Amino acid sequence: MSPYEIRKLTREGKITHQTCGMCDGYAQGNLLILPKEHAYDFLLFTQRNPKSCPILEVGDVGSRKLKKMAKDADIATDIPKYRIWEYGELKGEYTDISKFWRNDFVYFLIGCSFSFEGELLAADVPVRHIEEGKNVPMYLTDIECEPAGIFHGKLVVSMRPMPADQVIKAVSVTASMPRVHGAPIHIGDPKKIGINDINKPDFGESVTIKDGEIPVFWCCGVTPQSAVMSAKPPIAISHAPGHMFITDVKNTLLKD
């Protein structure tokens, strides 16, 4: 099915599950919705932290439509599952947020590592959590994001282990995709970035690291949610983890 058909079924409430692996080749996006009052601070946060928050599209104030990343889409209905946050705390999950939409809301669609994983596999770089049918392991680091207004917090990273002879290829492939997190931010010793136990991720699931494999760390799209938890705005809406917005734009076109 095309991204449009998937979004239509999602809008009708017929798709409510995770989107990993759906519409192969098309970019998927993380979502954050904030009132205009906090939109400047967050937009500046994304500008100052482009590797963790690469923007795909920002809506006009009050608009639920997309102009660049999808046709005939509605940001308030076309994602399988949403989360509503009040003062930094998760208040509930919904499959449709139309009834909560406000005229002062601004949506931010943010690049997702699903896009570069396809490219890694195409280059024969192993992606362990896909092999093992798990969520990617994610960790809170001790690296402070560049703050902007009310938004601040630690950088969240995702990790993919691989043989040493695959690392250069993995850097090269992802460096060419800056709009979906780009090159890794760290290779090797997890302790150097404040991760004490590589087998205990803060989000997602632990994966096997084979003898001699090197852990490779990328900036992660969960960072914006971490910044929301730190900033504690009265209201924010995000996608639920793994339940992404599927765009009409192919991953290969995110390389420019």
Give the interface with its own copies as residue ranges (CB under 8 A): 36, 39-40, 43-44, 46-48, 55, 58, 61, 149, 178, 183, 256
Q: Compute the least distance from the CB of residue 130 to its own copies, in Å.
A: 27
State the minimum distance, in angstroms, from the CB of residue 91 to its own copies.
26
Tell me the DSSP string of 108-133: EEEE-THHHHHHHHHTT---HHHHTT
Nearer CB in complex with its own copies: 40/87: 40
CA distance 212 to 223: 29
Residue 183 or 195: the one with the smaller Cβ distance to its own copies is 183
Question: Which one, 33 or 43, has the nearer CB to its own copies?
Answer: 43
> In whole angstroms, what is the distance from residue 77 CA to residue 9 CA?
10
- CB of 177 vs its own copies, minimal distance in Å: 12
Query: 216 — phi, psi (to 5°)?
Result: -115, 130
In the complex, least distance from residue 183 CB atom to its own copies, rounded to whole angstroms? 8
- The burial class, CB within 10 Å (0-12 / 13-18 / 19+), for 243 is buried
- Residue 155 in contact with residue 202, Cβ under 8 Å? no
Return all residues near 61 (Cβ < 8 A) that are at least 6 apart: 36, 39, 103, 104, 105, 106
Smallest separation (angstroms) from its own copies to the CB of 58: 6
**Distance in Å, CB of 66 to its own copies, minimum:** 13
Residue 136 or 219: which CB sits closer to its own copies?
219
Q: How far is the CB of 223 from its own copies (least distance, A)?
A: 17
**181 or 243, CB closer to its own copies?**
181
Q: Which CB atom, from 183 or from 222, has the smaller least distance to its own copies?
A: 183
Reading across the β-sheet that carries 154-163, which strands appear in turn?
138-144, 154-163, 213-219, 186-187
Which two structure tokens, joined as six digits, stand for 216? 């490779």
Task: Give the residue with the Cβ less far from its own copies, 65 or 191.
Answer: 65
What whole-number distance in Å separates Cα of residue 206 and Cα of residue 226?
20
161 with 207: CB under 8 angstroms? yes
Please tell me what DSSP assigns to residue 205. -
